[in-house]
Amino acid sequence: MEKRHQNKVVVITGGAAGIGRAFAQRVAQEGANVVIVDRIPADEVVDEITKENGKAVAHACDVGDPEAVRQLGVTILEGFGRCDVLVNNAGIFPSCRFEDLSYEQWRQMITVNLDSMFLMAKQFVPGMRQRKWGRVVNMTSNSYAQVAPGLTHYIASKAGVIGFTRALASELGADGITVNAIAPGFTRTPGTLARKPNFNGMTSEQLFEAHANRQAIPRPSEPKDLAGALSFLMSDDAAFMTAQTLYVDGGQVRSG
């Protein structure tokens, strides 16, 4: 594979599993120095990458914890000197009917899915500004445009991601930094496979099929389907593209 990301330092949150893992594998193949940040161990991904002569390390961190993220930022900047690309991918998606949703569950969702992006960006954007180059890629969801019941807290967090992306892009564009979002559809990952049946009693497998049938490309979404979009957004080919949300969902969302 072409080494178009040779020596870029790429920090990927939630890189131990699912989409983040596919991101880590892809950009490592393209020459990046990958820093995986996850609350669970990522040794397996790091081993896979290093066995193929790629470069990866892992740091344990809860990205919703301000002090843990501050310490993580210090460690990464001491170790690598910089972060060229920040991929804010870690997220949670437990569904819950609105009447049953507690304030604590709401806060937890916003903390992990949105506050974490603010906290991570605070660590690495100043260095990107100094070097006049940087990429921030934030994970939102096509469910923002395909709203389903039981996801008020999730959709609110992912709408916040789109707003944060646009606003941060507006502040950073003059300094060579782009900020974009990727919106996947329902994708086969450990997170979606572990979910409980939804309100209609549909299992994850049934939902993969139902989503596929609504897509222009009628097959279930896999984590590696998202990786090309990340690689593009990190590249110089995407240097004039910022503040955008890319729907990478087999054409499920077909209007703004």
Residue partners of 208: CB distance under 8 A and separation at least 6: 186, 188, 192, 220, 221
154 is an active site residue: yes
Nearest distance in Å: CB 133, ligand NAD: 25
**Which CB sits closer to ligand NAD, 19 or 179?**
19
What's the order of all strands across the beta sheet hosting 177-184?
55-60, 33-38, 9-13, 85-88, 134-139, 177-184, 245-248
112 binds ligand NAD (CB under 6 A): yes
> In angstroms, rounded to a whole number, what is the distance separating the alpha carbons of residues 166 and 171?
9
Q: Which of residues 170-199 bind ligand NAD (CB under 6 A)?
A: 184, 186-187, 189-192
User: What x/- string results for residues 86 through 105 when contact with ligand NAD is judged by CB under 6 A?
Assistant: ---xxxxx------------
> Is residue 161 within 8 Å of 93, Cβ to Cβ?
no
Retrieve residue 170's tokens: 């507006």
Q: Which of residues 46-75 bind ligand NAD (CB under 6 A)?
A: 62-64
Q: How far is CA 212 from CA 55, 59, 208, 219, 249, in A?
A: 35, 35, 6, 5, 9
> In angstroms, rounded to a whole number, what is the distance separating the alpha carbons of residues 230 and 179?
12
Q: What is the dihedral of CA 192, 44, 223, 141, to 10 degrees?
A: 60
User: What x/- string results for residues 134 through 153 when contact with ligand NAD is judged by CB under 6 A?
Assistant: -----x-x------------
**Which CB sits closer to ligand NAD, 142 or 242?**
142
User: What x/- string results for residues 12 through 51 when contact with ligand NAD is judged by CB under 6 A?
Assistant: -xx-xxxxx-----------------xxx-----------
**Which CB sits closer to ligand NAD, 30 or 38?**
38
Give the active site residue among 103, 144, 154, 247: 154
Strand 33-38 vs strand 55-60: parallel, antiparallel, or unpaired? parallel
Nearest distance in Å: CB 79, ligand NAD: 18
> In angstroms, rounded to a whole number, what is the distance separating the alpha carbons of residues 63 and 38?
8
**Which CB sits closer to ligand NAD, 33 or 93?**
93
Q: Which one of the spans 84-92, 121-129, 145-153, 169-177 is the region binding ligand NAD (CB under 6 A)?
A: 84-92
Residue partners of 256: CB distance under 8 A and separation at least 6: none
Nearest distance in Å: CB 176, ligand NAD: 26
**Which CB sits closer to ligand NAD, 19 or 145?**
19
> In angstroms, rounded to a whole number, what is the distance separating the alpha carbons of residues 206 and 189?
14
Binding site for ligand NAD (CB under 6 A): 13-14, 16-20, 38-40, 62-64, 89-93, 112, 139, 141, 184, 186-187, 189-192
Report the catalytic residues.
Answer: 154
